[in-house]
A and B are shown apart, each in its own frame.
Chain A
């Protein structure tokens, strides 16, 4: 497979996975505007922007006023969703994903292209005013569903060649990075709260789509440590960090060695990152530090894949 195509398909997976995470976060966020306390809404906005590693143009507020929060939330939602200048906005991710798909149309199935193009065209017809007037939750829910349909169609129609592996790898790396980043943002914001306060755990479970699983495993009492354990280490939870790092490792393993440099570097780094999640997590006290190490591991997987497969000097 052409290195350029491999890179295009890999980034296709990354952009759409990023868009999906953003949809899930935004769905929870706009839902919270209806009935959650202002402090909790502000907490979740700060967590969201920390996760995206983006500072909104007008800065982040910290005023506990309902009117202010509601008005500002509209602006922030617009910036997160439709702002072209924000490289991680939903519109930027979907546009870039679609652009990668357009360029790599010969590497993906026709059904995948049509599905994504339809979602893109539908998205183009939307704006913050219209979705706010109708139901912003429904908009983010539908967009997320469209993105997942794309991956479902990919699963059903895509030939299981290298392109498939790079698509899955891109998804896995992005999901791992996004999830770790979100958990780190949660931990960082928690440390700023007064003792005894806990915000954002329910929405965190919802974003990871782990609410029902949590209840089945731990009951209705939502405790921070259990939430983290579930989201990081559960091998059967589709959005857990373990699932994502394992998936990255498996896809790299199927690809074989990269043609340049240290042949097995990407695979080795992925293996090391997997073992941090599997074997270090239960025994380590400083979970924040370990999350940072996992985050660095996912960053290195990405860098070694770029170097080994996409920019090799052959």
Chain B
């Protein structure tokens, strides 16, 4: 295939090419492979991977008005490649970030020193809907509140930036592993030549992490994975992970709390669970403590957790630390607990609760991205450059009425990577979501769910809005 027609834009970082049009040195094998590959071959590889995903049922479920539809997250077969040196920065930055956030969570649910020391505003924490007063005075084993974290990272010409921490029930790791399996078998020779670091041990690392967080006195802890059920869009991932870690996949209806312990109903009677990897939001976890109408959770589970009879990963109440307002304080949080500067920087974020930031935001709406602090998944935000005057006026009114609910950020152009589009190679915007595991030690497999905005020019990588996936190859030293 011809690479000379590949469009470069020097204002945007390209993952494969230098501004001169030369391939970056770590992408030279990929360039050669692409030059050897015909358009027909590329199409064939794409189709074969898509077919294998469909056949294996690697899907997410979208529920419409009438019936459910199983959809594949489209995969682009060209890997995004990064060097071991670049990975070391990401790894160190993520490890530092999660360590600090775990300190932060343990602090705010206990002594709240960070608040009394004036580092983070009191109301930002205690008025946050994701702050769970029920967890006050609780400390999980090893003081690890967040055992599994998926952090969204983007790259600009200035380097890597953290876009968002996902500290509640981060998803996407199954696609990271499925993409690797598919691409590895499609680009066998290239994979071998490039010397790519392995990620297939993620399940082992996750199991180790969960076992380390088991209640004291459980030498061989029993682990279960709690799913909301088959109607959840990420159900495939829940099944996949349960398989990977050898856990029983349970629903709320399978569980019962007796005498402060958690049990599952089996064909042989009740069996105790020591560690519950929950893929269910806090709100639905325990109807006696959170939403009373929840039929997905288990009555009394929070009490069992607080008594130390079962460990829940991630602990209830972690959502307060990935609030978009708190995000702006993460560099300060790192400095406060670890005495270090953040290795991975945030996107510059203005908090509309501050008068100067509010004024700046309102004056520059058409150039900014404005987000509600409590929303996620790309919902409830205004993308200034793509908005109409009327939309901006409506949004400005909402911001003025409740400034503490909003933050603003400059529009960041995510880096681009080559993708197969029809019979050609074209650039598309990408981000990446590596997964960090935190137990007695921090573990990160060298890979990520790399998301791609498949629509030309689009910056939206969310799978629900036209995004797809790519395999991330981290090279050996």
Q: What is A's interface to B at a CB cutoff of 8 Å? A: 1-6, 99, 102-103, 105-106, 110, 113-114, 117-118, 121, 162, 255, 258-259, 309, 312, 314
Contact = CB atoms under 8 A, between A and B. Distances in A.
Given A259-B267, A259-B269, 8 more contacts: A2-B265, A2-B267, A5-B249, A110-B243, A113-B57, A114-B56, A117-B57, A312-B265
A106 B267 contact: no
Contacts of B267: 1-3, 6, 162, 255, 258-259, 309, 312
Nearest to A163: B267
Given A2-B250, A4-B251, A114 B55 contact: yes
Interface in B199-256: 230, 235, 239, 242-243, 248-251, 253-254
Contacts of A309: 267
- Dominant secondary structure of chain B at its interface with chain A: mixed
A283 B265 CA distance: 45
A161 B242 CA distance: 17
Question: Majority SS of interface residues in chain A?
Answer: helix
B269 A106 contact: no
Contact of A314 (B242, B248, B250, B269): B269
Interface string B299-321: 00000000000000000000000
Contacts of A255: 267
A179 to B, nearest CB: 27
Contact of A3 (B57, B242, B249, B265): B265
B185 interface: no
B266 A3 contact: yes
A105 to B, nearest CB: 4
Contacts of B269: 259, 312, 314
A2 B270 contact: no
A314 B254 contact: no
Q: Please give me the 10 A-B residue pairs with the lowest Cβ-Cβ distance, nearest first.
A: A105-B239, A259-B269, A106-B242, A314-B269, A106-B249, A117-B57, A309-B267, A6-B267, A103-B230, A3-B265
B55 A118 contact: yes
A5 B248 CA distance: 10
B268 interface: yes
B254 A102 contact: no
A62 to B, nearest CB: 38
28 contacts: A1-B266, A2-B250, A2-B264, A2-B265, A2-B266, A3-B267, A4-B253, A4-B254, A4-B265, A5-B248, A99-B230, A102-B57, A102-B235, A102-B239, A103-B230, A105-B243, A106-B249, A110-B56, A113-B56, A114-B55, A117-B55, A117-B56, A117-B57, A255-B267, A259-B267, A312-B265, A314-B269, A314-B270
Interface string B150-185: 000000000000000000000000000000000000
A2 B273 CA distance: 12
A106 B239 contact: yes
Contacts of A312: 265, 267, 269
B246 to A, nearest CB: 9
B54 interface: yes
Nearest to B246: A106
B254 A106 contact: no
Given A3-B265, A106-B243, A314-B270, A121 B55 contact: yes
B253 to A, nearest CB: 7
Contacts of B250: 2
A102 B230 contact: yes
